[in-house]
Amino acid sequence: MHKNIAVIILAAGKGERMKSSLPKVMHNICGQPMLAYVLSLTRTLKPKKTVIVLGHQYEAIQNKLPAEITAVRQRKLLGTADAVREALFKLKGFKGTVLVLYADTPLLKKESVDKLLEYHTENKLDATLLTARMNKPKGYGRIVRDKYSSISAIVEEKDADDFEKEIKEINTGIICFNKSSLEAALKKVRPDNRKKEYYLTDTIKILYKNGKLVDGVKINDIHEAIGVNSRLELARANLVMQQRINEKFMRSGVTIADTYSTFISYGTRIGRDTLIYPFTVIERDVRIGKRCFIGPFAHLREGTRVADDVTVGNFTETTRARIGAKTLIKHFSYIGDAAVGARVNIGAGTVTANFDGRSKHTTVIKDRALIGSDTVLVAPVKVGRGALTGAGSVIIKNIPDNKKAVGVPARILKGKR
């Protein structure tokens, strides 16, 4: 493992190009904020220290960070070099490799960072860049190489001349530095560019001119380099992440009938031999068991727990719901704030009316109950084990085990079910 590294995460940018009141790094990709991806990648690297630079909506983000991460505030967004300078104040006692990660690059993989760090340490370099070849490099900083093909500078798109714009090798933004080389170079960075900002990328030219050792490692999967600056790039990054998630499930034994219309959040758990039909949306914090049938057109929302051998069929929405084994919810239903037992049959059009205008209430449906089509369960309410509701009934009272209830509002009938 990498022994002596500290990570600096840059996340202070306003994200002008997002045209949003939400800070850029808090926009979601597959159900979690962009920032969460870089944080989990950082955790796997086991750095000595992690410093994140925040600016826009500092408090809101800082409150959500894990305790081991130090946050610094960049008051004026003077550029990426200025942001790194701020972070270095929190790394006073540290000596070693400083890895800079951009929080707007959520698709970056651990393997690529490992490769970068290894190359950097083995060759005792002053700075090592992660680069990528792109056919359409628009918007990215270009890697300039000298006649010996050594990296001599990074030129930002805005400052590039026509010749430099043709360069296909780009800066992903991920750079690792020897700490003292970084500090020395930062002192010489000037805001002499179109944006009048202090560019971290200028340190490369400075190091090169001072005879320091700079090199790059190329990544093969250019998707990893996608920097999210606009909603278009957000959508592109989302698509790539979604395919990664879906492919991971398929490799682990889940059938996904159409991966392009199946939206599964990061962190979802799904058991083997479950089959997911098209146009299904699975939001964050959902678990699904083995051998289930989900969709088409199913919407499983936060806090849904589906046991084994369950069917959640078309036009069904679930939220904060536990569904027991072998239960069938086959057609257009809403099951929210509910605990549904095993082997329950929920008829078409069943609705748990969980909200009374002020607060949410729970519906409990015990094992083997039979809920007739078009039943409305007005929560809080309980349907007993083996009980039955008639088609179109509105349930406002608890139904004892093995009883039958019909009507609007439903009356409980005499005798057994």
Residues in the site for ligand UD1, rule: CB under 6 A? 10-13, 53, 74, 77-80, 82-83, 102-105, 140-141, 154, 156, 170-173, 199-201, 227, 229
CB of 232 to ligand UD1, least distance (A): 13
Q: Do 324 and 342 form a contact (C-beta atoms < 8 A)?
A: yes
Other beta carbons less than 10 A from residue 180's beta carbon: 12
Q: Is the CB of 104 or the CB of 337 nearer to Mg ion?
A: 104
Least distance from C-beta 107 to ligand UD1, angstroms? 11
The option from ligand UD1, Mg ion, none interacting with 378 (CB < 5 to 8 A, set by class) reads none
Q: Minimal CA–CA distance to 53: which of 18, 7, 84?
A: 84
Per the CB < 8 A criterion, the answer to whether 369 and 341 are in contact is yes
CB of 14 to ligand UD1, least distance (A): 8
For residue 199, the partner it binds in Mg ion, ligand UD1, none, with Cβ less than 5 to 8 A by kind, is: ligand UD1
Site residues (CB under 5 A) for Mg ion?
A: 104, 227, 229
Q: Can you list the positions of beta strands (E) in 140-194?
A: 142-145, 151-155, 169-178
SS3 content of the chain, % helix, strand, coil (to 5): 25, 30, 45
Smallest gap from Cβ 28 to ligand UD1, in A, equals 16
Listing from the earlier edge strand, what are the strands of the sheet with 255-256?
Answer: 255-256, 275-276, 293-294, 311-314, 328-331, 345-346, 370-371, 388-389, 404-407, 410-412
User: Exposed, middle or buried: residue 138 (CB in 10 Å: 0-12, 13-18, 19+)?
Assistant: exposed
Per DSSP, the residues of 35-71 read HHHHHHHHHHH--SEEEEEE-TTHHHHHTTS-TTEEE
Q: Which does 140 bind (CB under 5 to 8 A by kind): ligand UD1, Mg ion, none?
A: ligand UD1
C-alpha span between 69 and 63 (Å, rounded) = 11
**Burial grade of 257 (CB within 10 A; 0-12, 13-18, 19 or more):** middle
Single out the catalytic residue among 56, 120, 299, 331.
331
Q: Could you tell which of Mg ion, ligand UD1, none binds residue 193, using a CB distance below 5 to 8 A set by kind?
A: none
410 DSSP assignment: E
Q: Rounded to an integer, what is the distance from CA 115 to the centroid of its chain?
A: 23
216 vs 227 by CB, closer to Mg ion? 227
Q: In terms of CB distance, is 195 or 397 closer to ligand UD1?
A: 195
> CA 8 → CA 5, 53, 131, 225, 399, distances in Å?
10, 7, 18, 18, 59
Helices within 123-160 (DSSP H only)? none
13 interacts with, out of ligand UD1, Mg ion, none, CB within 5 to 8 A per kind: ligand UD1
Least distance CB 257 / ligand UD1 (angstroms): 35
Nearest to 350 by CA among 377, 381, 370, 328: 377
Q: Which is nearer to ligand UD1, 10 or 340 (CB)?
A: 10
d(CA 130, CA 116) in angstroms, rounded, equals 7
Query: Which one, 12 or 351, has the nearer CB to ligand UD1?
Result: 12
| Shortest distance, position 193 Cβ to ligand UD1, whole Å | 8
Q: Which does 413 bind (CB under 5 to 8 A by kind): ligand UD1, Mg ion, none?
A: none
The residue number whose beta carbon is nearest to Mg ion equals: 227
Tokens at residue 102, please?
Answer: 């951009």
Out of Mg ion, ligand UD1, none, what residue 317 binds, judged by CB under 5 to 8 A for its kind, is none
The greatest distance separating any two alpha carbons of the chain, rounded to the nearest whole angstrom, comes to: 94
Residue among 226 and 351 whose Cβ is closer to ligand UD1: 226
C-beta closer to ligand UD1: residue 11 or 378 = 11
Q: Read off the amino acid at residue 45.
A: L
Question: Is 299 among the catalytic positions?
Answer: no
- Report in angstroms how near the CB of residue 353 gets to ligand UD1 at its nearest: 44
Dist. CA 46–CA 62, nearest whole Å: 20
Q: Which residues are catalytic?
A: 331
